[in-house]
């Protein structure tokens, strides 16, 4: 099991680096670094604003003694989106943006 996890992260990291070098070949290194910084900032904003919003909704449900089922799922999927956007790379940014789209967010909710 641990070998599979190590291989997954190794292949993921190598593919991210490979795709970043391809992107930097097309749009230059400075533009690629700017794109990485932009997605980092967007991921930070998403993590702070939407994470706080879903956390407050979850707390409200817990105080009113009701089950916060959908808020927990929405909050964790949006937190995952923020983490994907903060992580530098093409694949993780693509997944982070896909989670932001409401139509495709349901797919990720079903996976979670």
CA distance 62 to 101: 28
| Phi-psi domain of 65 (left: phi exceeds 0; alpha: psi -120 through 50; beta: other) | left
Angle (CA) 108-22-47 rounded to 5° is 35
Provide the whole-model pTM. 0.77
16 in Cβ contact with 90 (< 8 Å): yes
User: What's the chain's average pLDDT?
Assistant: 85
Q: Has residue 18 got a pLDDT over 90?
A: yes
pLDDT for residue 54 = 78
The pLDDT tens digits of the residues spanning 41-88 come to 988 888 888 777 777 887 887 788 877 777 777 777 888 888 888 888
DSSP 89: S
């Amino acid at each position: 099991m641990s070998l599979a996890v190590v291989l997954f992260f190794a292949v993921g990291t190598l593919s991210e680096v490979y795709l970043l070098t391809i992107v930097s070949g097309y749009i230059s290194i400075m533009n690629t670094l700017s794109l990485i910084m932009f997605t980092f900032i967007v991921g930070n904003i998403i993590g702070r604003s939407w994470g706080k919003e879903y956390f407050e909704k979850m707390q409200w449900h817990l105080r009113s003694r009701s089950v916060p089922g959908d808020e927990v799922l929405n909050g964790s999927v949006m937190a995952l989106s923020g983490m994907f956007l903060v992580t530098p790379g093409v694949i993780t940014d693509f997944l982070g943006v896909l989670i932001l789209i409401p139509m495709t967010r349901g797919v990720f909710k079903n996976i979670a």
